[in-house]
Chain A
Amino acid sequence: MPGLSFDLIAMQLFTGLALGAIYVLFAIGLSLIFGMLTVVNFAHGAFYMVGAYVGLFLISLGGNFWLCLVAVPLIVGVSGMIVERFLIRPLYGRGIDYPLLLTFGLSYIMVELIRIGFGTSGYPFDTPDLLQGAVNIGIGYFPLYRLFVIGAAAIVLLGLWLFLERTSFGLIIRAGARDPQIVRVLGVDVARVWLYVFGIGTAIAGLAGLLAAPLQGVIPEMGANILAEAFVVTVVGGMGSIGGAVIAGLLVGVVISMTSLFAPEMAKVSIFALMAIVLLIRPQGFFGRAGLMS
């Protein structure tokens, strides 16, 4: 293979990291919601897709990308909170299957509503002017937008970490994940905490969808496509573990971009092979707590 140099591999590594950053943002919301509410949100992909469409809609109204970065997570997060309050809350205490099935049905509804509103074909999503072009990162020119995605993901992660570790509300969230009953006894309205957690999780999913839009375009099925891959990320990283989601998300991104360089036909399958290997060695994933599995 001519031209297969160190630089090319390093470039592909960066591409993988940018792809991985999207996976991390997607999986972190999934993981946060699961860790707190023990709900596997099958509609997470639909919220991701809605994020991209809301961005598209706002820009068609004359908004710009930077406004979308703020507005999209807000809009998607609030719609997530409405879903939690009216659809998921009645199902608490009825096992893990029912919320999963409900969110699966919900994703059908959301995708179809988008198809009604925006049609079944996809739309391109322009890279914002300021982020067009490429910059020299020492080993060659790398698209600026992809660097921006990596940076944005890092900022969101840092913010989320500070929020969870350094604020009193974050403390309540972490305590609630361990033992909701004790937290309730201490006088905290756990139901409201869960509402906010679901809102934060879906808001990050919406942001991930917006960030992915200039890379992949916008189609109604975009959420369904990423969901299976995000499941691999959560299984590999360990369900409910945020650190696990970060490491596994980046790993999955890099594995996909590396296999598309060396064995393109195996790109889609490689991450499932990764998952199979991890499952054989550590069924609970890298950082999974054993108790959360059953």
Chain B
Amino acid sequence: MTMNELSQTLAPAGVERRNWFEAAKRHRALLASLFVLVFPLVMPFTALAVNILIYGLYALGFNLLFGYLGLLSFGHAALFGTGAYLCGIAIVHFALPWYVAIAMGVLGGTAMAAMIGALAIRTRGIYFAMVTMALAQCVYYLFYQAIDWTGGENGLRGINVRAIDIFGMKFDFINPLTRYYVVAGFVILALYVLSRILASPFGAVIEAVRENEARARASGYNVTLTRLITFVLSGAFCGLAGALSALHLSIVPIEIMHYETSGMVVMMSLLGGMGTFFGPFVGAAVFLLLENLVSLWTVHWQLFVGAVFVVCVLFFPAGIWGTILKRVRP
């Protein structure tokens, strides 16, 4: 028995002694938000920092399904891409204000997740990965074909948002730092929503299904419905990330729907540490920084990324953040 456990055992009843790790875990959304707020100060380019936020959010949504529920989807590009396209279409074709466009993106991701989820949820394990990937490719071709709406191969262009007004205050969206903090506002909101979901009884059911499906079912939980709801929630986060990406880039390239975008988010989650709250952000940051650094030096950066990925799978299955957490856990 370590000193720590001993002191806990000896602590008088009713006075729960928590170590700092547990305390940090309780306030993980707050800590993550604080990090997000100071993050651009340590980054060389603000545009890259915005990208890390967006892909971190995308990975966060993916991780809810993969890390917490244990379902490996290879079709998340469809959710991310639908969010981006719907946000862009709302601005380009309907001239709607930016906040309505973001709401459209979230709705798009959610609705696409409901459709893909309803079909894919019937399968499990390996089938699930293949079916989600195949359905996402189907969505890719549908958006590719709808040239009038999506611009087809050229992508959807002209998503220009110059000024953003929040309760009468005007912000210049062209300014990179302003842009960062507007996106950060949404990311912080998403972090809080996610931490609330995970801390809720439903969050406990999600992890119960991952740990032992048969036992969760025997305990009276509706496993299929839990899966579907988690998939749809995951779609909402990814849709938001997609919408923010459309605003950030001013265009939606068709590649956003390609299955390499699905694979990228798997890489980010794995690199950061799946099933950890903050891991996806770490993974997204490391992935994008690597991509930026290596692409300065060679056009064949994918070789490097692939190698990092293979090494991660073989030697660091817990990911960077997951390994750090294991080390510091008292």
Q: Which 6 A-B pairs have the closest CB atoms?
A: A108-B306, A105-B309, A272-B138, A112-B303, A109-B306, A268-B141
| B307 proximity list for chain A (CB < 8 A) | 105, 109
Q: Report how far A18 CA is from B5 CA in the complex, Å.
A: 69
Is B134 touching A104 in the complex (CB atoms < 8 A)?
no
Contacts of A276 in B (CB 8 A): 119, 135
Q: A-contacting residues of B (Cβ < 8 Å)?
A: 72, 119, 122-127, 129-131, 133-135, 137-138, 141-142, 145, 259-260, 263, 266-267, 270, 300, 302-303, 305-310, 312-314, 317
Cβ–Cβ < 8 Å partners of A269 in chain B:
138, 141-142, 145
Known: A101-B266, A239-B126, A294-B125. A112 touches B137 (CB 8 A): no
Closest to B307 in A: A109
Q: Are B267 and A105 in contact (CB under 8 A)?
A: yes
Instruction: List the A residue with the shortest CB-CB distance to B267.
Output: A105
Q: In the bound complex, what is the Cα–Cα distance between A269 and B135 (angstroms)?
A: 9
A293 touches B123 (CB 8 A): yes
A224, B259: Cβ atoms closer than 8 Å: yes
Dominant secondary structure at the B interface? helix
Q: Is the CB of B131 within 8 A of A98?
A: no
Bound-state Cα–Cα, A87 to B310, Å: 8
Whether A100 touches B259, Cβ cut-off 8 Å, given contacts A228-B133, A272-B135, is no
A100-B126, A283-B122 given; A272·B137 CB < 8 A: yes
Residues of B close to A108: CB separation below 8 A: 302-303, 305-306, 309
CA–CA, A146 and B289, complex, Å? 47
Q: Provide a sorted-by-A list of 30 A–B residue pairs whose CB atoms are within 8 angstroms.
A: A87-B314, A94-B317, A100-B72, A100-B129, A102-B313, A104-B263, A105-B308, A105-B309, A105-B313, A107-B306, A108-B303, A108-B306, A109-B306, A112-B300, A116-B300, A116-B303, A228-B133, A228-B134, A239-B126, A265-B145, A269-B145, A272-B135, A272-B141, A273-B138, A276-B119, A276-B135, A279-B119, A280-B119, A280-B122, A283-B123
- Once the chains bind, are A101 and B119 in contact (CB under 8 Å)? no
Query: Which residue of A is nearest B123, CB measured?
Result: A283
A279 and B125 in contact, given A101-B313, A102-B310, A231-B130 (Cβ under 8 angstroms): no
Q: Could you say which residues of chain B place their CB within 8 Å of the CB of A90?
A: 314
Q: State A269–B127 Cα separation when bound (angstroms).
A: 19
The chain A residue with its CB closest to the CB of B301 is A112
Within 8 Å CB of A40, what residues of B? 126, 129-130
Partner of A102, one of B125, B127, B133, B314: B314
For the complex, give the distance between the alpha carbons of A102 and B263 in Å: 11
Residue interface mask A242-279, B partner, CB < 8 A = 1? 00000000000000000000000100110011011001
Closest Cβ–Cβ distance, residue A267 to chain B (whole Å): 9
A239 to B131, CA, bound (A): 12
Interface: A96 (CB within 8 A): yes
Least distance between B304 CB and chain A CB atoms (Å): 8
A residues less than 8 Å from B72 (CB atoms): 97, 100
Supplied contacts A40-B129, A100-B126, A275-B134, 19 more A-B pairs, CB within 8 Å: A40-B126, A102-B313, A104-B266, A108-B303, A109-B303, A109-B306, A111-B302, A112-B300, A228-B133, A231-B130, A235-B134, A268-B141, A269-B138, A272-B138, A272-B141, A276-B119, A280-B119, A293-B123, A293-B125
CB atoms of B309 and A91 under 8 A apart: no
The reply to whether A96 and B125 form a contact with Cβ atoms under 8 Å apart is: yes
Q: Chain B residues near A279 (CB, 8 Å)?
A: 119, 122-123, 131
Q: Does A113 contact B (CB under 8 A)?
A: yes
- Asked whether, in the complex, the Cβ of A235 is within 8 Å of the Cβ of B130, the reply is yes
CA distance A190 to B120 in the complex (A): 33
Q: Write out the residue numbers on chain A whose beta carbons fall within 8 Å of the beta carbon of B302.
A: 108, 111-112
Known interface pairs A105-B267, A268-B141; A98-B303 also in contact (CB < 8 Å):
no
How distant is A251 from chain B, measured CB to nearest CB, in Å?
15
In whole Å, how far is A287's beta carbon from the nearest beta carbon of chain B? 14
Cα of A103 to Cα of B113 in the assembled complex, Å? 26
Give the docked Cα–Cα distance between A34 and B129 (Å). Answer: 14
